[in-house]
Amino acid sequence: MSSSGTVRSYDAVVVGAGIVGLACAWRAAQRGLSVLCVDGATPGGGASGAAAGMLAPVTEADFGEEALLGLNLEAAAAWPAFRDELEEAGGIDIGHRASGALEVAADRDDLEELRRRLAFRRSLDLDAEWLTGRECRRLEPGLSPRISAGIEAPGDGHVNPRAVVAALRRAFERSGGELVTGARATVLVRDECVQGVDIEGRDRVAAPALVAAAGAQTRALPGLDADALPPVRPVKGQILRLRVRPGASLPAARVIRSPRCYVVSRDDGEVVVGATVEERGEDLAVTGGGVFVLLEAARELLPDVDELEWVEAGTGLRPGTPDNAPVIGRHGPEGLVWATGHYRGGVLLAPLTGAAVGDLLAGDEPPAYILPFSPGRFTGGSAHRGGHLATRPRREPDMRVTLNGEPRELPDRASVAEAVSAAGGQPDGRGMAVAVDGEVVPRGRWAAVELGDGQHVEILRAAQGG
């Protein structure tokens, strides 16, 4: 692209060339649209390049995030077909492996947490089998003798995210798309309509549609009013990469997890250990403490980690949201589509996000599965798109409240957060899930949603045991 001052036109511009942005750009190009993808750094230079690439809807399932779990399960089911299509279009093996995962306990606290997770997963009819320590070591002989129990998740797996980025880039360009890197884009808006972008040091680009897929840099997108920006924040993660020495075996066939780390072993000999979760703004420093805690946690599970060759330590900034769920859909000026906020699930959710954004750009109705994740859920008084959970001023006597199926009384003017507290939940909501009239309330909305007349409030507290 020249810097002659001319204006070039496209049907759509995608800002962000990570896995999500490239998936959106590729799908839009496949729909016959002319698409320009712009990134201020290199493709996959953010969270995508740092990620381990886990496809783990079951072991990543968390209390209060049932709606996200449904999306994650659908995304995992979409990955085999997505892999086949992408490898054919990009000509690159992306390292997709349906390896399964094993979440294990190395001490008494881990064991209690594992039992809570087992109860939670069984309550959602997820495939979760309790294994003794001996049964765990029968599956994975490299596990430490101190491992006392585990939960197997046979449907989880992983992919090589750096290979996915390379394949997506090639597939996008082979579909007629254009990629510009190392240049910052400023969004152009006039009369509440997207007009295109100004690319730093290059031409102005005219386009009636723009996909904001900038990940953790979402709120730094120049040219957009603050009111149009979803509440996406950077969440730092440190991650380690090691390698099996020649002639040695991989430490495990499955993804191995504990409450403190995960270990992903790839067929090419790479072993990934991650990852810290740190609220430190845009800090990208690798720290001694971060490296130490990850290595210590990994050695606790798999002693042979000691024999692996060191490769690198890196950091990435995950795009987090208040409810840990992605932001997908139209919001703000006409023509603006958001595809951000995927937090720990960007790799897993890329196939669904790309397909949904491709549909939106082509003028089709958005798929039903993205509706609960619209940017509009962070505006107004509802906890769910469409206002299904309206904020009410007070609780009336005919409200029905249950805790694990047993009737409960709540104080007047109770919010969801107060209901959880009254039920004996922890302030951070760990171990609790809430549904109002059958709709799960995201944890990030508990304080804002007050309970009202005629509602049925179901509070689930995971029971220990099993």
**pLDDT class of 136 with cuts at 50, 70, 90:** very high
Is residue 359 packed enough to be buried (19+ CB in 10 Å), middle (13-18) or exposed (0-12)? Answer: middle
- Look at residue 31 in the predicted model and tell me its pLDDT: 96
Stretch 442-454: mean pLDDT, rounded?
A: 69
Distance CA 374, CA 442 (A): 13
Closest CA to 59 of 129, 2, 162: 129
**pLDDT class of 422 with cuts at 50, 70, 90:** confident
Separation in Å, CA 241 to CA 104, 244, 289, 310:
21, 10, 16, 7
223 Cα distance to chain centroid: 26
- Higher-confidence position of 228 and 53: 53
Contact 151, 129 (CB under 8 A): yes
- Look at residue 455 in the predicted model and tell me its pLDDT: 76
Above 90 in pLDDT, residue 442? no
Among 23-37, 38-52, 277-291, 394-408, which stretch is predicted with the lowest mean pLDDT?
394-408
What is the chain's length?
466
- Which residues have CB under 8 Å from 359's CB, separation 6+? 365, 366, 367
Q: What is the pTM of this model?
A: 0.81
- Structural element, H or E, at residue 258: strand 255-258
Tens digits of per-residue pLDDT, 95-104? 999 999 999 9
Tens digits of per-residue pLDDT, 338-396? 999 999 999 999 999 999 999 999 999 888 989 999 999 997 533 333 222 222 233 33
Among 152-156, 261-265, 432-436, which stretch is predicted with the lowest mean pLDDT?
432-436
- Higher-confidence position of 393 and 213: 213
Instruction: Cis check for the bond before 119: say yes or no (omega within 30 of 0).
Output: no
**pLDDT class of 443 with cuts at 50, 70, 90:** low
- Look at residue 401 in the predicted model and tell me its pLDDT: 73
- Look at residue 379 in the predicted model and tell me its pLDDT: 77
- Look at residue 228 in the predicted model and tell me its pLDDT: 84
Tens digits of per-residue pLDDT, 285-328? 999 999 999 999 999 999 999 999 999 999 999 999 999 999 99
Per the structure block, which two tokens stand in for 286?
A: 């690798």
Distance CA 212, CA 21 (A): 8
- Look at residue 383 in the predicted model and tell me its pLDDT: 31
Tens digits of per-residue pLDDT, 453-465? 667 777 765 433 3
Query: Could you tell me what percentage of the chain is helix, strand and coil, using 3-state DSSP and rounding each to the nearest 5?
Result: 30, 25, 40
For the chain, domains (ranges, CATH) are 7-50+162-232+323-378 (3.50.50.60), 101-154+233-318 (3.30.9.10), 400-461 (3.10.20.30)
- Look at residue 452 in the predicted model and tell me its pLDDT: 72
The identity of residue 206, as a single letter, is A
For residue 15, give the DSSP letter. Answer: E
Dump the DSSP string for 394-424: ---TT-EEEETTEE----TT-BHHHHHHHTT
Distance CA 88, CA 97 (A): 17
Contact 9, 359 (CB under 8 A): no
**pLDDT class of 426 with cuts at 50, 70, 90:** low
Residue 327 DSSP SS3:
strand
- Look at residue 1 in the predicted model and tell me its pLDDT: 46
Q: What average pLDDT does the structure give for the chain?
A: 88
Stretch 130-137: mean pLDDT, rounded?
A: 97
Furthest-apart CA pair in the chain: how many Å?
71
Distance CA 179, CA 221 (A): 18
What are the φ and ψ backbone dihedral angles of 426, each rounded to 5 degrees?
Answer: -75, 155
Strands 185-190 and 178-181: unpaired
Stretch 126-131: mean pLDDT, rounded?
A: 92
- Look at residue 179 in the predicted model and tell me its pLDDT: 98
Closest CA to 40 of 220, 223, 231, 286: 220
User: Percent of the chain scored above 70 by pLDDT?
Assistant: 85
